Chains A and B, each alone.
Chain A
Amino acid sequence: MIGSTPEAAGQAERSWSLSFTVNGERHELAIQPERTLLEVLREDLHLTGTKGACLEGECGSCIVLVDGVPQNSCLILAPQMEGREVVTIEGLADGTVLDPVQRAFVDHGAVQCGFCTPGVVLSTKALLAGNPHPTYDEVRRGLEGNICRCTGYMKVLAAALAAARAGVADDASGQADRPRP
């Protein structure tokens, strides 16, 4: 829709070409350089699982993994992603098999409205990748950048600890994805 307007056509002259990987897929895009990664993911790639709730780095709803590191995509200018590898919430499950972190969030009641969930799941994923057996306090600190207004965090913390126990290391096996009871 943006491309169909005279204004956007004018701005297209200032566009940058961006080449990066999202959820294992390579993308070559022409974008305006002042756009954020969050905008490009949502508006150009239609990956709306990544949410924006404050647009100033305070809530973590927009967290994605950039080369494995959780980043607030609302604060990143898209051109900075050149050559980088981005994983969004849509890229976490292996087909229909949920990642153990996702599985644990479902099973432990860590999802209410779900708006914070993509960001919290990815933060947890990154946390466990760096620290497979975190303590309760380490999980709390690891998720400090994610605001959840619904759950009171208890079930989120429980899910993260359960995912750690389920063993994020073997997530390729899909063993953790039990059918719904």
Chain B
Amino acid sequence: MSDIRVSEAAPTSGAPVGRSATRSDARDKVTGKTAYGGDRAVSQECLHAHVLRAAHPHAIVRRIETGPALADPDVVAVFTGKDVPGTNLHGMIRRDQELLATSRVRYCGDAVALVVARTRQAAERASKLVVVDYEPLPGVFTIAEALAPDAAAIHPEGNILGRQRIRKGDALAAMAEADVVVETEFSTQSVDHAFLDTEAGVAYLEGEVLTIEAAGQWVHEEARLLALALGLPFERVRIIQPPTGGAFGGREDLGIQLYLGLAALLTGQRVELAYSRAESMIARHKRHPIHIRYRFGARRDGTLVAAVVEVQADEGAYASTGKAVLRKAASHATGPYRVPNVHVDVTGVFTNNNPTGAMRGFGASQIAIAYEGAMDKLAAALGMDRVELRRRNLLLPGDAVTTSQILPVVSAQECMSAALERIGWEGRSYETPAPHLKRGYGLSVVCFGLGYGDGFPDASRARVRFTDGDRLEVYTGAVEVGQGLVQMAAQVAAQAVGVTIDRVDVILADTARTPEAGSSSATRQTFFTGSAVRKAGVELRHQLLDIVGTLLPVHPDELDLADDACFERADPTRRVPLSAILQEGRRRGYPLEAEAIFEPRTICQDDAGQSVRAFVTYLFASHAAEVLVDVETGEVQVQRIVAVHDLGKAINPLAAEGQIEGGVVQGIGMALMEEVVRQRGRLLNPNFTDYIVPTAMDVPEIIPVILENPDPIGPFGARGVGEPPLIGTPPAILGAIHDAIGVQIGQTPATAERVWRALQQAPGR
């Protein structure tokens, strides 16, 4: 494999938008200067907190005795739910989880006590001295157990979190009349976000204001939820996002912020808290494991006539963002395919496992495995080429997605064609170096709605201003978690205003200093915050042009601004430098700042799952994968992945490629190796020794391909990158395994053992 081509992407020059500029935060990151949440406590006098987690996955908490822990001379305080001054409840969509459990624990990550001590060691040691009197309850650990008539009820209303459905046309009748019907079943696993930077931070009081420096994904919402839980007015809470080592949805639920806030509020002192890898994995929500039964009905010529899809999802112990995940799974159930009759039922079921919620892909990643798996089966049943079948059914411009929305840009066909071409599909070879190795190729196409959608209020705000030193500052409440938002905002601002990128400073995610911009999730920040920054920037640009109008006898329409100067379009040598414009602007009392909000509306799906505008816009992507399967061991080696993404516009192509490649590798992890293993609710592998994430040795050649069919609304035509690179990967790999060995693997991850077993059970082997 030494002949692998490594893309030699390098910084480019030219206009700010579309330029592969190096990240402004990279220099501090390569020199070790960047101070993440866990670096903020070092070298400062502070107290140390430790959270005691539940000893049982399901139990009544009868009594908590803190006396023995308090007897430790180094212990400052031990808090239980009774000490929490507010509602003691949290949850992103419904507040159903106690910050500190007062009467019941529902999974092993539930917190029961918070110890604050003078040293970290003392806090940890003393937490073992807290005596909790539990009355263990029968636990429910699988969907089947949760739905059994005599199952223990995890929440008062029972074990069903919610149902989501789609009823379009008459799918059951159409299915009965279809020439060919295929059915396939998939089960997906529990996946951990496994960001490297485990939860850590500090909290302290600034006068009356409780300030928390810990990473989340939506600082303003975290402040609101935290204020409710702790009984504080919103104004008394400040959340500052430190530089953050990855999130991937894993920081969407509130967690460490609550314990930091409680400890600092009640002790009045600066407190530090950091989770170990094990605590991080035991406490945090996971990707929904789901079971999917998928049926396609088609005419003899391959035209899809119906899809009937049943999904059951393990919601774990609390709602988290589960309902939204269920909705996304339903609304994306037929992916990029045109299906006139659709019947989808998604049911979310509580268990005593980790809560399940946001993770890159958000329900769409699981369902994509099923619709592509069903397509491959349908092709086989029809005796039709997989590509031809897809081509016949992929959405075309003017078509509506399953939820009825007609999209302005539909590039499914174009994405697939590009993927086929780049992997060399036509001339693909099945040759292998040895007979026990089988080669296979797989294909996936993704259609993904970005933003929260479904009528949920979704807005970003940004403020831009020139400082007295002529620097351009961008303020926005969005968080940078590694994805590159900081550079995106700088490039969009530079382009919108007409300055050089290096003049821009981006100030992010501090509830006291930056306007609210929603979460860094749902592939939304380039589209939403990028748009807000662009709008504010354009307004500021108009101020500058106006000022120049007072200096030059030229109509503003005949002027342009770029690279820190204003010039006449007709004669670019006639120019006014930015410094002179700003000086004149100050003299004339121009504000030299602007603020904007970007708030496109969506409409909630109706009872049948229909909405003419469920999402603000959709992304299209297509992946092609090439694998080698060892039929003696079941081991799968991914050889190549082509990932084609229609980004509308790549604000920073280098960064966009990095996002695509990172998503692809997380997709490889989901497809082949990652799985949180629990036994009756207890994690067996809360560590990197046994929870295996891909390393450099697992990565194939990845070929990112960026298409740019501009979005009519997005900033400079951009949509975003985020989730689709992950979503497209597992179905392409599973399809390639199917192609290689002739057996479809119905369970992820497709570990060597599972592939080997599937081969043993395959008929005719």
What is the number of contacts between chain A and chain B, taking CB atoms within 8 Å? 230
Minimal Cβ-Cβ distance residue in A for B245: A115
Knowing A58-B689, A113-B245, A113-B246 touch, does A49 contact B11 (C-beta < 8 A)? no
Are B246 and A149 within 8 A (Cβ)?
A: yes
- Bound-state CA distance A52–B36 (Å) is 11
Q: How far is the CB of A115 from chain B (nearest CB, A)?
A: 3
Are A55 and B277 within 8 A (Cβ)?
A: yes
- Bound-state CA distance A43–B44 (Å) is 10
Knowing A149-B693, A158-B6, A180-B502 touch, does A54 contact B42 (C-beta < 8 A)? no
Q: How far is the CB of A138 from chain B (nearest CB, A)?
A: 8
Are A114 and B482 within 8 A (Cβ)?
A: yes
Q: Report A25-58 CB contacts with B as 1/0, cut-off 8 Å.
A: 0000000000000000011001111111111101
B386 at the interface (CB under 8 A from A): no
A65 at the interface (CB under 8 A from B): no
Q: Which residues of A, 132-177, contact B by the 8 Å Cβ criterion?
A: 135-137, 139-141, 143-158, 161-162
Are A55 and B196 within 8 A (Cβ)?
A: no
B657 at the interface (CB under 8 A from A): yes
Are B197 and A53 within 8 A (Cβ)?
A: yes
Q: Which residues of B, 695-718, contact A by the 8 Å Cβ criterion?
A: 695-697, 699, 702
Are B119 and A1 within 8 A (Cβ)?
A: yes
- Bound-state CA distance A61–B29 (Å) is 13
Identify the stretch in B395-403, B488-496, B660-668 within 8 Å (CB) of chain A at 4 or more residues. Answer: B660-668
Quick one: which of B39, B196, B482 has the most chain A CB within 10 A? Answer: B196
B248 at the interface (CB under 8 A from A): yes
Identify the stretch in B15-23, B107-115, B569-577, B675-683 within 8 Å (CB) of chain A at 4 or more residues. Answer: B15-23
Q: Which residues of B, 174-211, contact A by the 8 Å Cβ criterion?
A: 193-198
Interface size class of A (residues with CB under 8 A): 35 or more
Are A108 and B10 within 8 A (Cβ)?
A: yes
CB contacts (< 8 Å) of B12 on chain A: these are 181
Are B13 and A181 within 8 A (Cβ)?
A: yes
- Bound-state CA distance A8–B117 (Å) is 13
Are A135 and B243 within 8 A (Cβ)?
A: no
A118 at the interface (CB under 8 A from B): yes
Knowing A152-B658, A155-B661, A157-B6 touch, does A117 contact B22 (C-beta < 8 A)? no
Q: Which residues of B, 476-495, contact A by the 8 Å Cβ criterion?
A: 481-484
Q: Report A106-125 CB contacts with B as 1/0, cut-off 8 Å.
A: 11110111111110010000
B579 at the interface (CB under 8 A from A): no
CB contacts (< 8 Å) of A55 on chain B: these are 276-277
- Bound-state CA distance A105–B8 (Å) is 12
Number of interface residues of B (CB under 8 A): 78
Q: How far is the CB of A136 from chain B (nearest CB, A)?
A: 5
- Contact pick for B6, options A47, A88, A154, A180, CB 8 Å: A154
Are A93 and B31 within 8 A (Cβ)?
A: yes
Are A111 and B26 within 8 A (Cβ)?
A: yes
A89 at the interface (CB under 8 A from B): yes
- Bound-state CA distance A143–B657 (Å) is 21
CB contacts (< 8 Å) of B35 on chain A: these are 48
- Bound-state CA distance A140–B34 (Å) is 26
- Contact pick for A106, options B7, B9, B26, B74, CB 8 Å: B26
- Bound-state CA distance A2–B122 (Å) is 10
- Contact pick for A89, options B32, B197, B484, B702, CB 8 Å: B32
Are B46 and A49 within 8 A (Cβ)?
A: no
Are B45 and A56 within 8 A (Cβ)?
A: no
A-B interface, 6 closest residue pairs, ranked by CB to CB distance from nearest? A49-B32, A113-B482, A115-B245, A114-B29, A152-B661, A89-B32
A sample of 9 inter-chain contacts (CB < 8 A) reads A1-B46, A6-B73, A107-B22, A109-B658, A112-B483, A150-B658, A152-B660, A153-B694, A158-B8
A residues whose Cβ falls under 8 Å from a Cβ of B: 1-2, 4-8, 42-43, 46-56, 58-59, 61, 88-90, 92-93, 98, 102, 105-109, 111-118, 121, 135-137, 139-141, 143-158, 161-162, 180-181
A114-B30, A118-B30, A158-B9 known; 14 new pairs, CB 8 Å cut-off, are: A49-B32, A51-B245, A54-B277, A55-B277, A56-B687, A88-B32, A106-B26, A109-B655, A111-B25, A112-B484, A115-B196, A115-B197, A154-B699, A180-B11
